[in-house]
Amino acid sequence: MIVTPVTELLGIRVPIVQGGMQWVGLPPLVAAVSNAGGLGILTALTQPSPAALRDAIRDTRKRTSKPFGVNITLLPTINPPDYEGYARAAVEEGVRVFETAGNSPGKLIKFFKDRGCLVIHKCTTIRHAKSAQRMGVDILSIDGFECAGHPGEEDVPGLVLLARAAEELKLPYIASGGIADSRGFAAALALGASGINMGTRFMCTVEAPIHQNIKEKIVASSEQDTEHIFRTLHNTARVFKNKVATEVVSIERRPGGAKFEDIRELVSGARGKQVYETGDPDRGIWSAGLSVGLIHDIPTCEELVSRMETKTEEIIQNMQKVVVRAKL
Ligand code: NAD
């Protein structure tokens, strides 16, 4: 058993949290992760409205009696979402765990804390983590540069960022970005984390509600197969390196740069969603982390979580033997 402040605070068996992925954080996956002993996370903005989020929460409850959470991410969007409406709907449906991420989260964090909820806040710098600590969050999710989606603009990979978190933070934190196996899990614990967050790895499970071709594409890919878009717009996102991502980057590199309007049609989330529906990896933009290089199969969530738990315990025991040998 890997017991940490995170398993105790969240009431889960294994300190593995599923990342709140756009178009992927739907009830079948969320319930499968929670039933496997981790914490599944529904992605609020994947639902077209707060009313649809209510339905998704009820659907998840039918599939699991275990705790699960809801993610709300505050980043630039083509159509501004009703963030407060989503937050209110989830709280009224009885959700008690929230993952917040993105820009200026203060109002949202206060909304949840005023209602007695537990907040995990995801951040990509120690400065933002300390600010979230002051806002009263319960757990930090420290997101290294390896991550899928938005790594921020300071480009600090997990090895250094997590060690800095150990030096600076008072609250328990989970490690996010670049983790897809037991080696990463054990390393995160060694770096002072009380658990891990995995997104891309959970896309490649039997229960992930995305087309089988995309799961197989991830298995066939290496750590060379991601790309950063939106660097020039200061909204960097790590996505799968496909024809659309390459085109976006070439438009951004034109003399004089690009405005968002020049790439809006290529990058829209509505188009990216079709990747997961049709199985065509070149249909639009889709998020993927460097951990694609570590993913070699498509297990059930139960198989994945229990394998990671067992192998991480083995690594920790073997590390103790290394330490003993080193002392002789
Ligand atoms: P969308 O269709 O509104 O936008 C597509 C992409 O363009 C997103 O990455 C968005 O951040 C970016 N974007 C939009 N307007 C921009 C602008 N003016 N300048 C620079 N970049 C801009 O996005 P969507 O797929 O419908 O997703 C809705 C929101 O959820 C977005 O903010 C997105 O970043 C965020 N998101 C969350 C997660 C998560 O894990 N929860 C994952 C992916 C995306």
Domains and CATH numbers, the chain: 5-211 (3.20.20.70)
Distance CA 210, CA 204 (A): 9
Atom of ligand 1 nearest to the CA of 271: 2
- Point out which residues pair with 64 in neighbouring strands: none
| Residue among 315, 322, 29 at smallest CA distance from 187 | 315
CB-ligand 1 contact for 44 (6 Å cutoff): no
> Residue 88 has what pLDDT?
98
Per-residue pLDDT of the chain (328 residues; tens, 9 = 90+): 999 999 999 999 999 999 999 999 999 999 999 999 999 999 999 999 999 999 999 999 999 999 999 999 999 999 999 999 999 999 999 999 999 999 999 999 999 999 999 999 999 999 999 999 999 999 999 999 999 999 999 999 999 999 999 999 999 999 999 999 999 999 999 999 999 999 999 999 999 999 999 999 999 999 999 999 999 999 999 999 999 999 999 999 999 999 999 999 999 999 999 999 999 999 999 999 999 999 999 999 999 999 999 999 999 999 888 877 777 6
Distance CA 188, CA 202 (A): 18
How many angstroms is it from 307 CA to the middle of ligand 1?
A: 33
Sort strands 97-102 and 118-123 into parallel, antiparallel or unpaired: parallel
| Residue among 17, 28, 18 at smallest CA distance from 210 | 28
Most informative mutation of 21, 30, 45, 240 for ligand 1 (most atoms within 8 A of CB): 45
How many angstroms is it from 87 CA to the middle of ligand 1?
A: 18
CB-ligand 1 contact for 267 (6 Å cutoff): yes
Most informative mutation of 47, 75, 147, 238 for ligand 1 (most atoms within 8 A of CB): 75
Q: How many CA atoms lie within 13 A of 319 on its CB side?
A: 11
CB-ligand 1 contact for 60 (6 Å cutoff): no
> Residue 321 has what pLDDT?
86
Sort strands 237-240 and 226-229 into parallel, antiparallel or unpaired: antiparallel
Residue with tokens 């960022």: 161
Distances (CA, A) of 250 to 238, 262, 312: 15, 11, 41
CB-ligand 1 contact for 21 (6 Å cutoff): yes
Q: Is the predicted ipTM greater than 0.90, yes or no?
A: yes
> Residue 138 has what pLDDT?
98
Distance CA 248, CA 238 (A): 12
Distances (CA, A) of 313 to 76, 162, 173, 177: 40, 20, 19, 21
Largest Cα span, the chain: 65
Q: How many CA atoms lie within 13 A of 157 on its CB side?
A: 7
Atom of ligand 1 nearest to the CA of 101: 41
DSSP state of 287: B
| Residue among 292, 321, 318 at smallest CA distance from 222 | 292
> Residue 324 has what pLDDT?
77
How many angstroms is it from 141 CA to the middle of ligand 1?
A: 20
Which helix or strand (DSSP H or E) is residue 241 part of?
none
Distances (CA, A) of 265 to 227, 249, 268: 18, 14, 6
> Residue 236 has what pLDDT?
98
> Residue 49 has what pLDDT?
98
> Residue 13 has what pLDDT?
97
